[in-house]
Amino acid sequence: MDVLIEEKIAQAVSLKRYSDFNGANLIYEQLNDQYPHSPVILKSWAKTLVCLGLYEDAINKFQLAVKLFIPQGMENHAWQCNNQIMEIRNRSKTPEQFKKYIRAVSGGTILDPKM
């Protein structure tokens, strides 16, 4: 992976850990403009969208990442994305599990997510 991508993702993840989800989202938008169709960017971006409560947008990013990971032989990453899609889609069926998922994705900064 490109060093610039790694650095920018690390910066976005750091912002996310301090609850600056909008700042992290801006970094991902800029990265996506520079490096469209990067599954690594899409996967990480989707997690920030989850923190913003933009669940359908997150699902779309995860789904696109899956389509891009598989031809690269990165089935483990594709599986992780599919697993996170299921967490989001099942949020009304398993609300306590979803809350745990959101706590994990947000680095513990979101304790009571919107459903």
pLDDT in tens, 11-56: 999 999 999 999 999 999 999 999 999 999 999 999 999 999 999 9
Q: Where are the alpha helices (DSSP H) in the chain?
A: 3-17, 21-34, 39-51, 55-69, 75-89, 95-105
Residue 33 structure tokens:
């403009």
Closest by Cα among 49, 28, 50, 25 to 39 = 28
pTM (2 d.p.): 0.92
Cα–Cα distance, 21 to 38 (Å, whole number): 20
